[in-house]
Structures are given as C-alpha cells and as structure tokens.
Amino acid sequence: MNLNKIKEAEAKHYMPVFARESLVIDHGEGNCLFDINGNKYVDFVAGIATNILGYNHPEYTEAVCNQVKKLMHVSNHYYTEIQSRYITRLCEASGFPRVFLCNSGAEANECAIKLARRYFKNHGGDKVILSAAGAFHGRTLATLTVTGNAAQHDRYSPLPQGFKSFSYNDFDDFKSKLTDEVGAVILETVQGECGVRPFSNDFLVNAYALCKSRGVLFIVDEVQTGMGRTGTLFSFEHFGIQPDIITMAKGIAGGIPMGACLATEEVGTAFSRGDHGSTFGGNALACAAADKVLEILLGGLLERAKETGVYLGNKLAYFSKYNFITDIRGIGLMRGIQLSDKVSAAAFEGRLREKGYLVNVAGGNTLRIIPPLTITEQEIDGLVAALDEICADTNV
C-alpha cells in the first residue's frame, strides 16, 4: 500500500474529523519512528505525550506480550491479580488512596465530574463546576463543556448544565467567579492542547488556597502533565498544592488505552456500588502495561526525565534570539515554542520532518515538544540543530 491508497481509504471511509500529516508510520524503535518508505524520524510527539517509553522498550514489550498470552480481559465482574498489583502501586506512588480505572483522558475527566457531583449531593446539594478558558479536558459532552472552546460548544449545543468558566491565569476573574454555587474547580497546570500554557505559580497557589478555604474541590487534569512529563510524577507537586481529585491518561500505560481518576478517601468514597463503571476499564492488559510503566518510571526514568527536561529547557532558551519566536514556554519534557504570526508553525513542522524530526503544532502557532521520557540529550541536540538551521534560513 502506498500513501495515496491509504489517504483515499481514509477519505472515503473515516468520518472526516482529522487533519492528518501525509505520513504513514510503519514501526517504531527506541525514540524513533519509521515510515513505510524506511525514513527515520526522531519522535518529539510520542503519540501526543503518550509513548513515554518510546517504542519497543524491551521490558515493557515483554510484560505486555506475556500478559496478552496469559489474560487480556475479563471485565470488572471478577478480580485479577494484575489490577490489584497496579492499583496498589499507583495509589502508593501518588498518595491518593482511591482510584477508578477507565480508558481515556475524556473518560477520566468524565469520572471526575460525576464523582464531584456525587460528592455535592452529600454536601449541600447540586453545585456548579468552574473551568478555565482555553482548557482542554476531552470530547465527551460534559468534558467538552469544561473545555474552553466556544466554536465546539456551538457545534454541540445544547450542552450539559452546571458549568461555568473563568479567564486563564486571571486570579481576579477566578475570585469573582468562585461564588457559593461553585462546588469544584478543574484545570490543567499547563494547558497542553492550547499551546503549552502554564498557569503562574501565584495563580495556582492562590486559587488552591481560596478553594480550600471555601470547601471547593480542586481537580487537576494531569492527563498530559502527569506521569513524569514535567519532571515530577504529577505536575501539581511543583506548586505545593494537594488536589482532591486528579485525572490521568496519555502516558499512563505507555500507549495502551487507559485512564485513571484518583481521589482522596473522603471524595473517592462518594461513589457507591453501581454509581459508575466500565467494561474495559482497568483490564488485565492495560494494568500490566501501566504497572510496568510505573515501575520503570519510579525505578529511575523519572529522575532521568527530570534532568533531560531541564536540559531541553536550557537548549530551547537559545531560540529567543530569533525575532519571530515570541515565546518559549513549558516545563520538563513539555515545551512550546510560540511563533509570530509572520511565520507558520505548520511550515516549521513540515521542514523539521524533512530533516527527520517530528514535532506538532498546538494552540495556534506553537510548536509543541513532548517526546518520550526516554529521549536522550543527543537526540535533543539533533532537534535543536535542525530547528536552528530552519530558523537561520527564515527571513521575516
């Protein structure tokens, strides 16, 4: 099969929702992907912050293959040893005693929203959930409603009730919106899809303190920022805050679909039997993958990713010398390079690809860099050199 045939089939049969790159990926090895023509690309996209161990990681591949042969799925009608092992490891590592396992980021956030609402019922009745403009929390109807994208809201109205929003990083606005009707706040510490936009330390610390003083639940969406992406297991750790609920997905199982919603004992036990569920959620295959990922992360990769993340940040700072680069943002191995409107991030992405490097464009005109956590300093140097050549060649 060639590119045109594959494009044709997609255009004919897939619902026309994706704007895909003209690239057919065949396989991966280490931190690199190979297309069907044998071209090699160092991968700074990682399946959107998901393939945190890169490709064909020996220990991970072995654990997944062994689990496939042994048992993949039995539903939550029964117990499995591997789920038991994984939830114990995850709860110990995260400090949250309660977890629900599902299959995606949207589902993890949907669970967080349902859990918060269930909690409100026991604490004075129905409440509103407050979210940030520019946020991305998923594509189910409720998570779309807390996603700050007005065009999407118009397309799918009428939307579920009981949500309102505040301006990104604007504490005065946040404070004015945090009225008595609000029972929970949900945010990403670094807005990923919106172009790698971190909330300020001051905003997060103050918003958290205000929520605590009012008994408002603080929900952090760690779907993209979690699993070591920012140099700590979860991004909230940078700010000395302790959320009531966090959500995870993307890197959690190294590429096998999985999501998780974690909560304190008090909040996590607001659900009772029959309140929530999932057929696939936390199945044996996903748990075996996630358990190995977490073992590898805690066994040294997290420390290494923290260092590589600092290295990447230092290297990228260099690009501020180009006048068409207007901002360089992010933390750890989650970085964004904002380009001025005079140049096109999509064109930069294309030229990097020609040089054998994959990045993607997020939040308008921002190059997003979210490699596997196994990325090496040498591979980062390669990306930096390629980007520098493109920048030096760009006249604005």
Q: Both ends of the chain: CA-CA distance in Å?
A: 40
* Among the residue ranges 74-82, 134-142, 334-342, 359-367, the one whose residues contact ligand PLP (CB under 6 A): 134-142
CA distance 33 to 358: 9
Query: Which strand ranges, in their side-by-side order, compose the sheet holding 360-362?
Result: 325-331, 334-339, 366-369, 360-362
How many residues bind ligand PLP (CB under 6 A)? The answer is 15
* Among the residue ranges 12-20, 218-226, 264-272, 340-348, the one whose residues contact ligand PLP (CB under 6 A): 218-226
Q: Are 353 and 375 in contact (CB under 8 A)?
A: no
104 scored as a contact of ligand PLP (CB under 6 A): yes
Q: Which amino acid is at 97?
A: P
| Closest CB 285 distance from ligand PLP, rounded Å | 17
| Residue closer to ligand PLP (CB basis): 251 or 315 | 251
Name residue 361's beta-bridge partners. 367
- How many other CB atoms sit within 10 Å of the CB of residue 276? 16
| Residue closer to ligand PLP (CB basis): 136 or 236 | 136
- With CB under 6 A as the contact rule, the residue among 28, 54, 105, 251 that binds ligand PLP is 105
User: How many degrees, rounded to 5, is the angle at CA 150 between CA 145 and CA 154?
Assistant: 80
110 scored as a contact of ligand PLP (CB under 6 A): no
Binding to ligand PLP in span 137-166, by CB under 6 A: 137-138
- With CB under 6 A as the contact rule, the residue among 192, 198, 231, 251 that binds ligand PLP is 192
Q: Are 306 and 232 in contact (CB under 8 A)?
A: yes
* Among the residue ranges 17-25, 27-35, 84-92, 133-141, the one whose residues contact ligand PLP (CB under 6 A): 133-141
- How many other CB atoms sit within 10 Å of the CB of residue 187? 25
CA distance 138 to 18: 15
| Residue closer to ligand PLP (CB basis): 52 or 223 | 223
Name residue 34's beta-bridge partners. 27, 40
| Closest CB 359 distance from ligand PLP, rounded Å | 16
| Closest CB 109 distance from ligand PLP, rounded Å | 6
CA distance 94 to 245: 11
| Closest CB 107 distance from ligand PLP, rounded Å | 7
Query: Which strand ranges, in their side-by-side order, compose the sheet holding 32-35?
Result: 25-29, 32-35, 40-43, 357-358
Q: Are 212 and 240 in contact (CB under 8 A)?
A: no
224 scored as a contact of ligand PLP (CB under 6 A): yes
CA distance 234 to 245: 12
| Closest CB 149 distance from ligand PLP, rounded Å | 12
- What string marks each residue from 68 to 97 as x (binds ligand PLP by CB under 6 A) or -? ------------------------------
112 scored as a contact of ligand PLP (CB under 6 A): no
| Closest CB 58 distance from ligand PLP, rounded Å | 26
106 scored as a contact of ligand PLP (CB under 6 A): yes
* Among the residue ranges 104-112, 289-297, 324-332, 363-371, the one whose residues contact ligand PLP (CB under 6 A): 104-112
Q: Are 144 and 156 in contact (CB under 8 A)?
A: yes
Q: Phi first, then psi: give them for residue 27, nearest 5 degrees.
A: -160, 170
136 scored as a contact of ligand PLP (CB under 6 A): yes
188 scored as a contact of ligand PLP (CB under 6 A): yes
The number of residues in the chain equals 396
- Contact positions toward ligand PLP, by CB under 6 A? 104-106, 109, 136-138, 188, 192-193, 221, 223-224, 249-250
